[in-house]
Amino acid sequence: MRRHVWSSAVVLAVFAVLVPGVSAQAAPERRAGPLPLDQLFDNRAVSDDARPAEADFDGSGASLSAQALTAAGWRPGRALTVQGARLTWPKRQPGRPDNVLAAGQDVRVRGRGDALAFLVAGTGGSGAAGTGVVTYADGSRTSYHLTAPDWRTGPLATKAVALTHLNTPYGQLAERPRLYVVTVPVVVGRAVTSVRLPRATGLHVFALAVRAPATGWTGSWSTATGGYPTVGPWTDRTLRLVVHTSVGGPRVRLRFDNTFAAAPVRIGRATVAVQSAGAAARATPVAVSFRGAAGTVIPAGAQAYSDPLGFKVPADTNLLVSFHLPGTVPAAPVHRLAQQRSYVSAPGDHTADGSATAYPTVLTSWPLLTGVDVSGGPGSVVLLGDSITDGDKSTTDANRRWPNVLATRLLKQSVVPRYGVLNQGVSGNRVVSDRYPGDGVSTDTAGVSAVHRFDRDVLAQTSARTAVVFEGVNDVRWGTSSEQVIAGLREIADRGHARGLRMLAATILPCEGEAQCTALADVERVEVNAWIRSGGAFDGVLDFDAVVRDPARPSRMLAAYDSGDHLHPGDAGLAALAGAVDLRLLVP
């Protein structure tokens, strides 16, 4: 007799007919196993300029330009490092499926780290968002929320890259279509095996990866990019930047960022040395490599880490980081206020020169270089701030910024771990308003807002354990309400806590006597400080206002601490700030 084998779906459907009230829809959804992302591609985002109708990214026929992507260094199959995560731009020819419209697909992803990084964009005019699920090797799951800003209207301040034009069936449009890298937290140390994408209309995913932990590394020096101004132009020049370490270690790696850029930049060779004096090295500079090569090309919006190098980095010492730019560089991502003299060479590759002879030109900014990491150590404390953290009005070449003084205090004690101290101050920066718009060549290098740069300048920093937020004076000086500043600070605190960081806030200093520090601005400042002191959002408070204010006139800084402009402390005031920090507050 022939045996009939019925599927569970058929059995349930028959049962539903015979037994009222039982629905065939009650069957559990049968899902295919997780697949690599590229096997799920179902949308065409990229077209050749000569054949724009081959792609339809947004449902109206518009698409990204393959030529514009190539000009930015985003070639098919190119690995890109953004916010410390290594992502691969889809290896697909124009007109072929190159991204996934998020609709609950299960994606095979492997790795351990502190975050998932998504290369995304939204279509539809207002961005796209939804909730997904991360599955781990032990069977546990966590949910995440992902927001993809719109590719045509999303903020330029948080983009990974913006292109020169977009394609339509009717011709090119001179807009700035953008792509975004968005990170979401995962359980640190737990192996990720798959990711379920959100169900979200118009949310396109081009790549995703687990951001690998910076195991065994501590950030010793860093700086934040504040803008993309014109430079030089530099053609066949070597830049020799002077940077000051916080902690030391037996190995070193360097980080270069092409943030805000529209085009790739090529580094021909790079070296590191301990400074003797000026542009002169104490010994012959030692070459670093990049994935085994002498140099590297950094795509627009991406970054490059050098390979680990056996090189003893002393603590509390000036290093010389030299890198040759063989091409022409007319604009570059820059940290403007270095408070440190660096150097530009005569033509040629002078990275290996030990002497200062080839470096006749003084440079007062830090272009391209954003980090120096050392092996070992307990991790880093990140200081997110404005010009006071940046060291404005401190003595040039003396390393008397309050982060430097704090780093020295940590080195000289044994009560708490000797953390690296990373200075992410940007002169002129604000909590909630962008000074630099985040795209294009600009004379303003005061950066995008603290809210907009928090992921890049804090969460993605090497082995960050604790963050100190010391901003707000520029907001209130230029008319931002205390409510707006408080909302921005609360958002930053919440985002840091979601990633497991200890979050501290410093109160805003008094500044009566400076032109923009009106009585109304002081009212807003006092309200923000009262909220910070309430302790509701942060794990601890550094009451810097109480340290430097004049007890007889609390809206004004003590004369002994004032640099003379009534806004920035001088060397003595900066030392007082660092000296007032209870080091135990830094410990997670």
Q: How, if at all, do strands 171-173 and 161-162 pair? A: unpaired
pLDDT at 518: 98
For residues 157 and 251, state if they share a domain. no
> Last residue of a domain, which of 371, 387, 415?
371
- pLDDT for 166-186, tens place per residue? 999 999 999 999 999 999 999
Q: Are 89 and 78 in contact (CB under 8 A)?
A: yes
For residues 163 and 309, state if they share a domain. no
With H, G, I as helix, E, B as strand and everything else as coil, classify residue 11.
helix
In the chain, the percentage of residues whose pLDDT exceeds 70 is 95
pLDDT at 30: 57
Asked if residue 178 belongs to a domain, the reply is: yes
Domain count, the chain: 3
- Cα dist from 55 to 163, 461, 525, whole Å: 17, 37, 52
Average pLDDT over residues 531-541: 95
Task: Please state the φ and ψ torsions of residue 130, each to the nearest 5 degrees.
Answer: -175, 175
Instruction: With cut-offs at 50, 70 and 90, classify the pLDDT of residue 536.
Output: confident
For residues 59 and 191, state if they share a domain. yes
pLDDT at 138: 97
* Exposed/middle/buried for residue 388 (C-beta within 10 Å: 0-12, 13-18, 19+): buried
- pLDDT for 53-78, tens place per residue? 999 999 999 999 999 999 999 999 99
* The residue type at 575: A
Domain carrying residue 190:
37-211
Q: Alpha carbon 32 to chain centroid distance?
A: 35
For residues 237 and 123, state if they share a domain. no
Q: How far apart, in whole angstroms, are the C-alpha atoms of residue 466 and residue 468?
A: 7
Lookup: tokens for 107: 């994606």
To which residue do tokens 């998020």 refer? Answer: 102
- pLDDT for 567-587, tens place per residue? 999 999 999 999 999 999 999
- pLDDT for 226-273, tens place per residue? 999 999 999 999 999 999 999 999 999 999 999 999 999 999 999 999
Q: How far apart, in whole angstroms, are the C-alpha atoms of residue 254 and residue 347?
A: 23
Asked if residue 219 belongs to a domain, the reply is: no
Q: Lowest-pLDDT range, 29-43, 147-161, 215-229, 420-434? A: 29-43
Average pLDDT over residues 185-194: 96
- Decide if pLDDT at 21 tops 90: no
For residues 172 and 147, state if they share a domain. yes
Average pLDDT over residues 31-45: 93
For residues 454 and 364, state if they share a domain. no
For residues 169 and 242, state if they share a domain. no
pTM for the structure as a whole: 0.93
Q: How far apart, in whole angstroms, are the C-alpha atoms of residue 102 and residue 75?
A: 23
* Exposed/middle/buried for residue 217 (C-beta within 10 Å: 0-12, 13-18, 19+): buried
For residues 200 and 233, state if they share a domain. no
Cis peptide before 233 (omega within 30 of 0): yes
Average pLDDT over residues 468-494: 98
Average pLDDT over residues 151-155: 97
> Last residue of a domain, which of 211, 242, 276?
211
Lookup: tokens for 9: 């779906």
- Decide if pLDDT at 111 tops 80: yes
pLDDT at 353: 98
pLDDT at 280: 98
Question: What is the per-residue DSSP string for 102-163?
Answer: EES-EEEEEE-SSEEEEEEEE-SSS-EEEEEEEEETTS-EEEEEEEE-BTTTS-GGG-SEE-
For residues 336 and 395, state if they share a domain. no
Mean pLDDT (the chain) is: 94
- pLDDT for 368-410, tens place per residue? 999 999 999 999 999 999 999 999 999 999 999 999 999 999 9
Secondary element (H or E) of residue 373: strand 369-375
Dihedral sign for Cα 496, 497, 502, 506, please.
positive
Average pLDDT over residues 217-222: 98
Q: Are 583 and 413 in contact (CB under 8 A)?
A: yes
For residues 73 and 157, state if they share a domain. yes
- Decide if pLDDT at 338 tops 70: yes
For residues 323 and 389, state if they share a domain. no
Lookup: tokens for 483: 């409510």
Asked if residue 147 belongs to a domain, the reply is: yes
Q: What is the CATH number of the domain that holds 534?
A: 3.40.50.1110
Q: Which residues contact 257 (CB under 8 A, 6 or more apart)?
A: 225, 298, 302, 303, 333, 368, 370
- pLDDT for 298-332, tens place per residue? 999 999 999 999 999 999 999 999 999 999 999 99
Question: Nearest CA to 386 among 296, 301, 446, 307?
Answer: 446
Question: What is the per-residue DSSP string for 238-257?
Answer: EEEEEEE-SS-EEEEEEEEE
Lookup: tokens for 100: 């996934």
- Cα dist from 4 to 19, 24, 211, 227, whole Å: 22, 20, 50, 71
Asked if residue 467 belongs to a domain, the reply is: yes
Secondary element (H or E) of residue 387: helix 387-390
Q: Are 129 and 203 in contact (CB under 8 A)?
A: yes
Q: How many residues does the chain have?
A: 588
- Decide if pLDDT at 23 tops 90: no
β-pair partners for 128: 148
Asked if residue 298 belongs to a domain, the reply is: yes
pLDDT at 26: 40
Q: What is the CA radius of gyration of the chain?
A: 26
Average pLDDT over residues 537-553: 98
> Last residue of a domain, which of 326, 352, 371?
371
For residues 197 and 234, state if they share a domain. no
Question: What is the per-residue DSSP string for 435-498?
Answer: SS-SSS--S--S-S-HHHHHIIIIITSTTEEEEEEE--HHHHHTT--HHHHHHHHHHHHHHHHH
Q: Exposure string (b/e) for 521-536, b if CB count within 10 Å is 16 or more?
A: bbebbbbbbebbeeee
Task: Please state the φ and ψ torsions of residue 498, each to the nearest 5 degrees.
Answer: -60, -25
pLDDT at 535: 80
Instruction: With cut-offs at 50, 70 and 90, classify the pLDDT of residue 31.
Output: low
Q: How far apart, in whole angstroms, are the C-alpha atoms of residue 183 and residue 338?
A: 29
Q: Alpha carbon 116 to chain centroid distance?
A: 14
Q: Are 215 and 253 in contact (CB under 8 A)?
A: no
